[in-house]
Structure 1
Amino acid sequence: MADTSIGTPEQLRDPNYTPALHKAIPLGIQHVMAMFIANVTPAIIVAGAAGFGFGSDSADFPQLLYMIQMSMLFAGIATLIQTIGVGPVGARLPIVQGTSFAFVPIMIPLVAGKGVDGLAALFTGVLIGGIFHGCLGFFIGRIRFALPPLVTGLVVTMIGLALVQVGIQYSAGGVPAIGTPEYGSLANWSAALIVIVVTLALKFFAPGMWSISSVLIGIAAGYVWAIVIGILPVGSIGASWTNAATFSLPDPFRFGFELSFAAILGFCLMAFVSAVETVGDVSGITKGGAGREATEEEITGATFADGIGTALAGAFGALPNTSFSQNVGLIAMTGVMSRHVVTVGGIFLIICGLMPKVGGIIRTIPIEVLGGAVVVMFGMVVASGISMLSDVKWDRRNMVIFAISISLGLGLQLEPGALGKLPDTAQILLTSGLLPAAGLAIVLNLVLPQPLSDVSTDEISGGLSGQGTPAE
C-alpha cells in the first residue's frame, strides 16, 4: 500500500514527482539494499570461474576488488542514464540497473580456468554486445513476437538451472576446495544454512524494510556466524580493508582489448533476451506504479539505456547491465513511482563504486555465506521462469518445444565433454546450455505449425509416457 505521508496519490503515481529529501534518501537506499548483493555476485562468480585467488594476499586480489568496485559504479551510472535520461536514451522511469545474471552462463565458459588472461575477450564482448543491445531499441517492438512467454519463461528457467550448481558448490566450500577434507563440511554448510534460514524468516515474517532487505541481513548473519566458528579470521577483514584504497577512479580497458567471435556472438544473442526482459520490467513499473501501459518512447528509451550502460561497463571492466526485476516489485509494494528516488539510489551506488574499501569488505564475505545467498537467488530465478511459463497454453506443440529445448540445453550444460570434437567457439557457445535452449525454442516456435485445439495435455502426457489416457 502506498504511503500517503510521502505525497498525494496523484504525486506518488507521477515519475517526475520529487519527495522531500529526508524521505527520498531512505527510499533510494532501500532500492539499493534490495539489489546490492545480486549486483556484485556475478563478478565474484566470474572471478571464481576464471580461477582467481580470493585471499587478500593473492596476486588476483586487486583485480577482484576492481571488478566488484566497477559492478557498483556502473550499476549506478546505468541507473542514472535510465532515470534522468539523455535525449532519447533512458526511460525516465524509476528503473534500477544492475549486473545481469542472465549472462553468467555465457561468461563462465569464456573465462573458465584462464585467470586474468581470459578477461580481455570477455569485456570486449560486453562492450560490443552492449552496442548491439542499444541498437535493438530502434526495432524492439517488432521482435517481441519471437519471444512469447514459452520462450522467455524457458530462458529464465534455464538461467536459474544453469547456476544452481554454483550455489551448491559455494555452500560446500567453493570450487577450489573440491576434493579437500573441508569441502562439504558441516561448518561450511552451517554458514550457508544460517543465511537461508534468516533470509526466509525475514522475508515472510518481518515487516517493511526488514523483509525487503532479507537477503542482505541474512548475509550479515552468516558473516557473523562465519567469524564465530572460525571460517573467517578477523585478521583477514582488517587486511582487506587496509589493502584497499580509499578512493579510486575506473581504468578504461584495464584488462585489455581482444576480439573473440564466441564472446561477441554470445553477448549479442543474449542481448535479445535481456532487451525483452527490460520491456517486461518497464511494463511492470508503469502498471504497478502508475496504473497504465508503458509508452513506446519509454520502452525504446529503456532499451537504448540498457545497451549504452552495458557498453560503458564493458569499456571499464564491469559486466553487462540490465533492469532489476526485484526493484519493480518494490515499486509496486511502496507505491512510490518517483524516478528521483531511484536517482538517489544510483548516486549511492556510484559513491560506493568509487570507494574500493567497500569492495574490500564485500570480498571478505566467505564463499559459503555467499553460497547460501545465491541458492536463494538462483532458486527464485527458476521460480520466476516457472511463473512465466504458467501463462503458456500447454498443448502438444508447446510441450514438444519446451521438452526438446530444455533437454538439449540442460544436457549440453551438464555434459560439456559431449561436444569435445567441435571447434572452441562452438563449444563455448553450446555448453553454456542457455544459448542452444533459447535458440532452439525461438526457431521451433517460429516454424512449427499451431496444433489442433482439441488435443489435450492429458492425451500428450499419456502418449509420451506410454501408459495411455484414461479414455483408453
Structure 2
Amino acid sequence: MADTSIGTPEQLRDPNYTPPLYKAVPLGIQHVLAMFVSNVTPAIIVAGAAGFGFGSNSPDFPELLYLIQMSMLFAGIATLFQTIGMGPVGARLPIVQGTSFAFLPIMIPLVAGKGVDALSALFAGVILGGLFHALIGTFIGKIRFALPPLVTGLVVTMIGLALVRVGIQYAAGGVPAIGTPEYGSLLNWSAALVVIAVTLGLKFFARGMLAVSAVLIGLLVGYVYSLFMGILSVDDITSSWERSAAFALPQPFKYGFTFSAAAIIGFCLMAFVSAIETVGDVEGITKGGAGRVATDKEITGATYADGIGTAIAGIFGGFPNTSFSQNVGLIAMTGVMSRHVVTCGAIFLIVCGLVPKVGGVIRTVPIEVLGGGVIVMFGMVVAAGISMLSDVDWNRRNMVIFAVALSVGLGLQLEPGAVQYLPEWAEVLMVSGLLPAAFIAIVLNLILPADLAEESTEEVAGGLSGHGSFGKAVDPAAVTPTRP
C-alpha cells in the first residue's frame, strides 16, 4: 500500500514528482539494497570461472576488486541514464539498472580457466554487444511478435538452469576447491544453509525493508557465522581493507580490446533476450506504479539506455547492464513512482563504485556464504521463467517446441564434449545451451503451422496422464488383464 505521507495519490503516480529529500534518500537506498547482492555477484562468478585467486594476498586480488567496483559504478551510471535521460536515451522512469545474470552462460565459457587474459575478448564483446543492444531500440516493437512467453519463459528458465550448478559449487566450497578435503564438508554447507534459512525466514515472515533486503541480511548473518566458525578470519578482513584504496577512478580499456567471434555473436544474440526483459520491466513499472500502459517512447528509451549503459561499462571493465525486475516489485509495493527516488539510489551506487574499500569488504564474503545467496537467487531465476511459462497455452504445438528446445539446450550444457569438433567460437556458443535453445524455440515458433495448436496435448502427454499413446482415454473395463 502506498505511503500517502510522502505525497498525494496523484503525486505518487507521477514519475516527475520529487518527495522530500529526507524521505527520497532512504527510499532510494532501499532500491539499492534490493539489488546490491545480485549486482556484484556476476563479477565474482566470472572471476571464479576465470581462475582468479580469492585470497587478499592473491596476485588477482586487485583485478577482482576492480570488477566489483565497476559493477557498482556503472550500475549507478546506467540507472541515471534511465531516470534522468539523455536525449532519446532513457525511459525517464524509476528503472534500476544492474549487472545482468542473463549473460553469465555466455561469459563463463569465454573465460573458463583463462585468467585475466580472457577479459580482453570478453569486454570487447560487452562493448559491441551493447551498441547492438542500443540498435535494437529502433525496432524493438516490431520483433516482439517473435518472442512470446513460450520463448522468453524458456530462455529465462534456461538461464537459471545454467547457473544453479554454480550455486551448489560455491556452497560446497567454491570451484577452485574441488578435489580438496574441505570441498563439500558439513562446515561449508552449514554456512550456506544459514544464509538460505535466514533469507527464507525474512522473505516469508518479515515485512517492509526486512523482506526487501532478505538476501542481503542473510549474507550478513552468514558472514558473522563464518567468522565465529573460523571460515573467515579477522586478519583476512584487515588485509583486504588495508590493500584497498580509499578512492579510485575507472580505467578505459584496462584489459585491452580483442575481437572474438564467440564473444561478439554471443553478446549480440543475448541482447535480444535482455531487451525483451527490459520491455517487460517497463510495462510492469508503469502498470504497478502508475496504473497505465507504457508508451512506445518509454520502451524505446529504456532499450537505448540498456545498450548505451552496457557499451560504456564495457569500455571501463564493467559487465552488461539490464533493468532489475526485483525493483519493479518494490515500486508496486511502496506505490512511489518517482524517478528521482531511484536517482538518489543511483548516486549512492556511484559513490560506492568510486571507493574500492567497499569492494574490498565485499571480496571477503566467503564463497560458501555467497553460495547460499546464489542458490536462492538463481532458483528465483528458474521460478521466474516457469512463471512466464504459465502464460503459455500448452497445446501440442507449443509442447513440441518447448521439448525440442529444452532437450537440445540442456543436453549441450550437460555434455559439452558432444560439439568438441566445432570451431572454438561456435563451441563456446553451443555449450552455453542458452543460445541454441533460444534459436530453436524462435525458429520453430515461426515456422510450425498454427493449426497444430488446435490439437489436444494428450497425444504428447498421454503416457503421463494415464491415457493411451494416441491421446484417447482407455476404458479399464475393456482391457484384458495380462497373465503373469
Which bracket does the TM-score occupy, shorter chain normalised? over 0.9
3-state SS in 2 of match to 1:98 = strand
Q: Report if aligned partners of 1:395, 1:451 keep a CA contact under 8 Å in 2.
A: no
State the 4+ residue runs in structure 1 displaced beyond 4 angstroms: 463-467
Q: How does 1:163-312 map to 2 (within 5 A)?
A: 163-312=163-312
Per the alignment, do residues 80 and 453 of structure 1 end up closer, same or farther by CA in structure 2, a change over 3 Å counting? closer
In the alignment, does 2:54 pair up with 1:58?
A: no
One-letter amino acid matched to 1:365? V
CA distance in 1, matches of 2:124, 2:96: 24
Q: Does 1:367 align with 2:343?
A: no
> Contact 1:395/1:455 (CA < 8 Å) preserved in 2?
yes
CA 397–464 in structure 1, closer or farther in 2 if over 3 Å, else same:
farther
Spell out, residue by residue over 1:109-141, the C-alpha distance to the aligned partner (whole angstroms, 9 max, x if none).
Answer: 000000000000000000000000001111100
1:239–1:285: structure 2 CA closer, same or farther, 3 Å change rule?
A: same
The structure with the largest alpha-carbon Rg is 2
For 2:457 and 2:272, the matched residues in 1 are separated by 30
- Map of 2:378 onto structure 1: 378
Which consecutive unaligned segments of at least 5 residues does structure 1 have? none
Tell me by how many angstroms 1:451 deviates. 3.3
CA contact (8 A) 2:76 2:350 kept: yes
Give the 3-state SS of the residue equivalent to 2:322 in structure 1.
strand
Q: What RMSD in Å do the two structures reach over aligned CA positions?
A: 1.1
Question: Which whole-Å CA distance do the structure 2 matches of 1:404 and 1:284 have between them?
Answer: 30
Q: Can you list the C-alpha shifts for 1:429-457, whole angstroms capped at 9, x where unaligned?
A: 00001011111111111111113454222
- Does the CA contact (< 8 Å) of 1:192 and 1:368 recur in 2? yes
Query: Which residue pairs with 1:47 in the alignment?
Result: 47
Contact 1:155 1:434 in 2 (8 A): yes
Contact 1:79 1:96 in 2 (8 A): yes
For 1:471, the equivalent position in structure 2 comes to: 473
CA deviations over 1:282-339 (Å, ceiling 9, x no partner)? 0000000000000010000000000000000100001000000000000000000000
Q: Distance in 1 between matches of 2:430 and 2:419?
A: 8
2:15 corresponding residue in structure 1: 15
- Is 2:397–2:453's contact at 8 Å kept on the other side of the alignment? no
Report how far residue 458 of structure 1 moved. 2.8
* Kept after mapping to 1: 8 A contact 2:95/2:328: yes
Q: Deviations over 1:391-421 (max 9, x none)?
A: 0000111001000101100110111111111
- State the partner residue of 1:151: 151
CA distance in 1, matches of 2:58, 2:29: 32
Structure 1: how far apart are the matches of 2:167 and 2:449?
39
Q: Note if contact 2:395-2:454 (Cα within 8 Å) is conserved in structure 1.
A: no
| Cα pair 1:285 1:328 within 8 Å, conserved | yes
> What's 1:406 paired with?
406
Q: Could you say what secondary structure the match of 1:138 adopts? A: coil
User: TM-score of the superposition, structure 1-length normalised?
Assistant: 0.99
Identify the residue that residue 87 of structure 1 maps to in structure 2: 87
How far did residue 464 of structure 1 move? Answer: 8.0
Aligned residues: 472
Gaps of 5+ in 2: 475-484
Contact 1:396 1:451 in 2 (8 A): no
Partner of 2:478: none
SS in 1 for 2:15: coil
The answer on 1:341 being equivalent to 2:341 is: yes
Match of 1:24 in 2: 24
Provide the C-alpha distance between the structure 2 equivalents of 1:241 and 1:470, rounded to a whole number of angstroms: 69
Structure 1 residue identity aligned to 2:347: I
* 1:330-388 deviation line (CA, Å, top 9, x unaligned): 00000000000000000000000000000000000000000000000000000000000
Structure 2 counterpart of 1:416: 416
Match for 1:171: what amino acid?
A
With over 3 angstroms needed to count, the CA separation of the structure-2 counterparts of 1:181 and 1:403, relative to structure 1, is same
Indicate if the aligned counterparts of 2:126 and 2:319 stay in contact, CA closer than 8 A: yes
User: In the alignment, which residue of structure 1 is the partner of 2:350?
Assistant: 350
Letter in 1 for 2:323: S
Q: Is the 8 A contact 1:69 1:353 kept in 2?
A: yes
SS in 1 for 2:98: strand
Q: Counterpart of 1:380 in 2: which secondary structure?
A: helix
Look up the SS of the partner of 1:322 in the other structure. Answer: strand
Distance, in Å, in 1 between the alignment partners of 2:455 and 2:130 is 43
User: TM-score under structure 2 normalisation?
Assistant: 0.96
The residue identity in structure 1 corresponding to 2:161 is L
Contact 2:397–2:452 at 8 Å: present in 1 too? no
Alpha-carbon distance between aligned partners in 1 of 2:46 and 2:454, rounded to the nearest angstrom:
48
1:326 is aligned to 326
Counterpart check, 1:37 vs 2:37: yes
Structure 2 SS opposite 1:77? helix
The Cα offsets for residues 187-208 of structure 1, whole Å up to 9 and x where unpaired, read as 0000000000000000110121
Tell me which amino acid in the other structure corresponds to 1:232. L
Which amino acid is the alignment partner of residue 471 of structure 1? A
Describe the shift of the 1:214–1:464 C-alpha distance in structure 2 as closer, same or farther (beyond 3 A). closer
Structure 1 residue matching 2:450: 3-state secondary structure: coil
Structure 2 CA distance for aligned equivalents of residues 234 and 31 of structure 1: 30
SS in 2 for 1:102: coil
User: How far off is 1:459 after superposition?
Assistant: 3.3
Corresponding residue for 2:388? Answer: 388
Q: Secondary structure of the equivalent of 2:337?
A: coil
Where 1:101 maps in the other structure, the secondary structure is coil
Match of 2:397 in 1: 397
Distance 2:247 2:101 in 1: 27
User: 1:192 and 1:419 mapped to 2: Cα distance?
Assistant: 35
Cα contact 2:396–2:453 (8 A) shared by 1? no
Q: Residue type matched to 2:79 in 1?
A: T
Residue identity opposite 1:55 in structure 2? G
* Whole-angstrom distance in 2 between the partners of 1:169 and 1:260: 28
Q: Please name the residue that 2:107 is paired with.
A: 107
- Decide whether the 8 Å contact of 1:94 with 1:342 is kept in 2: yes
